[in-house]
C-alpha cells in the first residue's frame, strides 16, 4: 500500500478476526493475547485511515474499506506463505502448515496417510477439519484450505478434482431382517422399507436419492441422523435400513448385529475425490503432500477394525 506502513502481523490479525468472527478466536489461533490482536487491528485502521470492522453486539462486520482490504490481504498472505515455504524448501526443509478439509466419512481413512506423511516431514503441522458436505463447500468457496476430500464434487464449480479410491455404497439391515442372507434381491423390494439416512445434501444422500429417482421409486426416509455411528446403531436397533459407505462400516467393526444386503444395483460405485479450486497454486507443503498421497494410495484402502466398538457387518 503506497504511503502506508502496514505489517505482516497486522494483516494476519485482521484476516484471522474476519475468518473466525472473533478477536478471541484470532488470538487463540495466532498464539497471542486478545489485547494484542485488538492493538494490531487498531494500528491497522489508523494506518488505513478508515474503519475496517464494525462490532454490533458480539457480531463483527466488515466495512467497505474492510472488504477491499480483505480481498487484497488474503491473496497477499497466501503468496507470502508460499514464499516462506519455498525458502524452507530451498534450505532442504519441509516446514509449514498443511490445511485439509474432509467430509465426515473420509475421516476413517485419511489419518492412515497423514501419519506416515508427518513421520517423513516432522516439521509440518497438519490441520484437518472434519465437517459435513455443506460446511466443506463453504470452506471451498472461501478457499480456506489447501486441499479437500469429498465423495461428490460440486458441478459447475471452478474446481479441479481427481479420484483417490473407490467409495462403494452398500445397503445395511439388522442381521435379523428377512432380507438378510438372501441373494440377488430386486431393487424394487426396497420400496417397501423405511430408511435412516444422513442429512439432506450429504454426498451419500445425494447418490442414494439419485439411484431411487432413476428407478422411479420413492426413498422413504424415516429418520435423519448426523453421524454414521448413530445410523449403524439405529439400524441395529431395527428402526430401518440404511445405505452407507463400505469404508465406514469396515472402520466401525464389532459384534455382528448388521448385515450387508445383496441388492441389485448395489453397491453404488463411487470414488473419493481430492478437490481444490481451479488454478490454485499449491504451497510447497501441499504439493509435497499431494505427491506423497499419489505415491501411497494403498494406505487409504480399508482394513478390518479388529476390536473397535459398535456393531459389525456380516455379508451374505
**Which top CATH class is 8-75?**
mainly alpha
Phi first, then psi: give them for residue 177, nearest 5 degrees.
-65, 145
> What is the Cα–Cα distance from 262 to 304, expressed in whole angstroms?
20
Phi first, then psi: give them for residue 62, nearest 5 degrees.
-85, 140
Mean pLDDT of the chain: 83
Tell me: the pLDDT tens digits for 89-134? 656 556 678 899 998 878 778 888 898 998 888 888 899 999 888 8
Query: All 3 cell numbers of residue 304?
Result: 478390518
Every domain range in the chain assigned CATH 3.40.190.10: 94-166+271-300, 169-269
Per-residue confidence (pLDDT) for residue 251, from 0 to 100: 52
Per-residue confidence (pLDDT) for residue 85, from 0 to 100: 67
Its CATH architecture, for the domain 169-269, is: 3-Layer(aba) Sandwich (3.40)
pTM of the model: 0.60
Say if residue 306's pLDDT is above 50: no
Per-residue confidence (pLDDT) for residue 304, from 0 to 100: 46
Per-residue confidence (pLDDT) for residue 149, from 0 to 100: 93
User: Regarding beta strands 258-260 and 313-315, do their DSSP bridges make them parallel or antiparallel, or are they unpaired?
Assistant: parallel
Say if residue 285's pLDDT is above 90: no
Say if residue 183's pLDDT is above 70: yes
Please report where in the chains the cell 487491528 appears, as a residue. 41
Contact (CB, 8 A) for 135 and 144: no
Tell me: the pLDDT tens digits for 242-277? 998 887 776 545 446 888 899 999 998 888 899 999
Say if residue 151's pLDDT is above 70: yes
Every domain range in the chain assigned CATH 1.10.10.10: 8-75
Its CATH architecture, for the domain 94-166+271-300, is: 3-Layer(aba) Sandwich (3.40)
Pick 302 or 307 by higher pLDDT: 302
Q: How confident is the model at residue 185 (pLDDT cuts 50, 70, 90)?
A: very high
Listing DSSP states for 175-214 in one string gives TTSTTTT-SSB-GGGGGGS-EEE--TT-HHHHHHHHHHHH
Amino acid at each position: 500500500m503506497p504511503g502506508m506502513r502496514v505489517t505482516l502481523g497486522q494483516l494476519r490479525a485482521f484476516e484471522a478476526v474476519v475468518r473466525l468472527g472473533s478477536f478471541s478466536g484470532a488470538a487463540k489461533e495466532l498464539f497471542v493475547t486478545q489485547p494484542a490482536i485488538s492493538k494490531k487491528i487498531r494500528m491497522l485502521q489508523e494506518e488505513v485511515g478508515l474503519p475496517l470492522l464494525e462490532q454490533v453486539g458480539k457480531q463483527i462486520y466488515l466495512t467497505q474499506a474492510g472488504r477491499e482490504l480483505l480481498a487484497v490481504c488474503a491473496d497477499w498472505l497466501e503468496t507470502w506463505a508460499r514464499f516462506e515455504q519455498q525458502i524452507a524448501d530451498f534450505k532442504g526443509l519441509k516446514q509449514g502448515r498443511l490445511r485439509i478439509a474432509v467430509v465426515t466419512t473420509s475421516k476413517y481413512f485419511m489419518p492412515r496417510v497423514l501419519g506416515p506423511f508427518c513421520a517423513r516431514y516432522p516439521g509440518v503441522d497438519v490441520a484437518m477439519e472434519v465437517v459435513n458436505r455443506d460446511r466443506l463447500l463453504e470452506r471451498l468457496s472461501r478457499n480456506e484450505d489447501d486441499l479437500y476430500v469429498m465423495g461428490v464434487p460440486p458441478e459447475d464449480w471452478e474446481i479441479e478434482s481427481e479420484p483417490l479410491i473407490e467409495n462403494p455404497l452398500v445397503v445395511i439391515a439388522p442381521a435379523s431382517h428377512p432380507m438378510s442372507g438372501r441373494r440377488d434381491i430386486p431393487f424394487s423390494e426396497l420400496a417397501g422399507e423405511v430408511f435412516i439416512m444422513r442429512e439432506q445434501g450429504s454426498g451419500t444422500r445425494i447418490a442414494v436419492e439419485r439411484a431411487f429417482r432413476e428407478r422411479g421409486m420413492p426413498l422413504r426416509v424415516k429418520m435423519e441422523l448426523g453421524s454414521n455411528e448413530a445410523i449403524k446403531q439405529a439400524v441395529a436397533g431395527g428402526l430401518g435400513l440404511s445405505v452407507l459407505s463400505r469404508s465406514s462400516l469396515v472402520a466401525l467393526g464389532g459384534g455382528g448385529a448388521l448385515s450387508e444386503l445383496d441388492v441389485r444395483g448395489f453397491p453404488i460405485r463411487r470414488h473419493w475425490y481430492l478437490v481444490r479450486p481451479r488454478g490454485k497454486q499449491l504451497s510447497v507443503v501441499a504439493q509435497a503432500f499431494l505427491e506423497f498421497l499419489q505415491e501411497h494410495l494403498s494406505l487409504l484402502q480399508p482394513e478390518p477394525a479388529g476390536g473397535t466398538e459398535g456393531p459389525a457387518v456380516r455379508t451374505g
